[in-house]
Amino acid sequence: MNAYMGHDGEPMDGACLVFANTAKEAKRLASPVIQDWMLCEYIDVRVQRIESPAWLLENAADQEKLARGEPHVVENPPTCNGCELWHDELIDGYCESCEEERTGGNDG
């Protein structure tokens, strides 16, 4: 199963996480959610495949649906405590960029 980000053209304004087998299936699942949030048309809804979905599969997907191979939408995936985005792995509640900023880098 692939992970996709569904949005209306601007993910920063709101995006849902979709687990689906194809982009077409992901758009079909994401559309009602995005259309409800943004009051947009089906044609405005976009999906982008997430290239490294392992963390999202493990931490955001509905594990029962995933085990059954059932495509589904996650409207509120875990978000970073700093930037409030969900596209990336979280380390103690923060994405890599915010964690580095918060801790001062620690490389040296």
Mean pLDDT of 66-88: 94
> Pairing between strand 72-74 and 46-49?
unpaired
User: Which of residues 28 and 101 earns the better pLDDT score?
Assistant: 28
Q: Say what percent of the chain tops pLDDT 70.
A: 96
DSSP-assigned states of every residue in 36-71: HHH---GGG-EEEE-S--HHHHHHTS-HHHHHHT--
pLDDT confidence band for 102 (50 / 70 / 90): confident
3-state secondary structure of 2: strand
pLDDT confidence band for 108 (50 / 70 / 90): very low
Q: Say what percent of the chain tops pLDDT 90.
A: 80
User: Which of residues 103 and 38 earns the better pLDDT score?
Assistant: 38
CA distance 29 to 16: 10
